[in-house]
Amino acid sequence: MQDSLGVLAILSLNIVICEWLCRRTFLRHFGTTLLVILFTAVVANLGIIPSASNASDLYGGIFAYVAPISIFFLLLGVNLSHLKRAGLPMLIMFFVGAMSTSIGAILAVQFVGGDALGNGYKAMAGMMTGTYIGGSVNFNAIALHYDIAKDGSLYAGTVAVDNILTAIWMICSLLLPKLFQKWLPRPVLNQNGQLSEQELDDMHNEHETVDPQQLALLIFLGAGVLWVSNISADWLAQLGVNFPSILILTTIALILAQIPAIQRINGAKLLGLYSIYLFLAVIGAFCELAALGKIGSLAIVILAFTTTIVVVHGLLTYLFGGMLKQDWDLVAVASQANIGGPSSAMALAKSLDRTDLILPSILVGTLGAGLGTYIGFFVAEVVL
């Protein structure tokens, strides 16, 4: 099938099925992100929709427009004014974790070797730095810039490894605070970050009520900011300055996210989630079996590369946490906010029975979504 409307219908149906599977079955442990990629890969390899070798025109439009606009919509939820409620200790440990991730990415290139990843080593370092500071929003932003997103097999393999290591680190984050508290006791300090039920619901509820005016306004903002970002990047390129348009879009989104009138617009999270799932579905369509076979040995390289980043992050974060005599639970939650993002950090805080850390974990995780792309590009383009 090459008809764009038919392809869009099937991609959307795949998202519906994967969301249902994530909510109703044991497959929820895989997450909607990975399920959408894998499910669409099966559909594409069965010939129901086009794959990479005979790509639909729709795919190009999704890469060019839908993917960057999805990042814009998701970043509209980053309210920096709330950061003071995270508390200074949590902010310090979060930045220690971000620094540790960056160092880990640089060492991973040296350990694995840039040649093993080919020309994509800078992109991989930037992507993994971004995702282990702020999550998949940063991962996708950097992947789009370097065109890694169009290599469906490599992208899918990296996402799979990322999901595995994030799950493993969640287990480590549950165990390590207890072990360190036993060996090197630290006073448990209440962070006074209690979260009301309404605040928790507002931050993580995926159900939004949006009217036509708000929907039109969001689409105007998304399309307008992407247009401005692209022409600004082209203008800078003519002046000899290579500045990624996705960074311009990120910056404008973060500025707009601090305006109260923008914060009151409903629907950004809803549009962002659907758009990012649509983008991931196209990634799945690019995962041809023939291409997947070619990355067999590369999968080991990706695993070694990513594991190095997480291990260095963990060693340095807990080392500095110990030197600063920080509460071990707080160190673990700050680290998880880096590696897994705000949702997993919140889940960890709940599991550790530290309700005072729930709000700080969400806030620093959200901060990571705003900073991860900048730091990822810095590692890729300046350091490496």
Per-residue pLDDT at 315: 95
Distance, in Å, from the CA atom of 335 to the CA atom of 341, rounded to the nearest integer, reads: 9
Per-residue pLDDT at 237: 82
Write out pLDDT tens, residues 106-150: 999 888 876 666 667 888 899 999 999 987 778 888 888 888 877
Residue that is written with structure tokens 């923008």 in the block: 262
C-beta neighbour count of 384 within 10 angstroms: 15
The total number of residues written for the chain in this structure: 384
Mean pLDDT of 260-282: 87
Assess whether pLDDT exceeds 70 at residue 198: no
Q: How far apart are the first and last CA of the chain?
A: 42
Q: Are 321 and 96 in contact (CB under 8 A)?
A: yes
The model carries a pTM of: 0.74
Assess whether pLDDT exceeds 80 at residue 370: yes
pLDDT band at 171 (very low <50, low <70, confident <90, very high): confident
Rounded to the nearest integer, the mean pLDDT of the chain is 82
Mean pLDDT of 201-207: 56
Per-residue pLDDT at 191: 54
pLDDT band at 190 (very low <50, low <70, confident <90, very high): low
Distance, in Å, from the CA atom of 124 to the CA atom of 301, rounded to the nearest integer, reads: 11
Mean pLDDT of 356-369: 81
- Selected residue with higher pLDDT from 188 and 106: 106
pLDDT band at 11 (very low <50, low <70, confident <90, very high): very high
Assess whether pLDDT exceeds 90 at residue 80: no
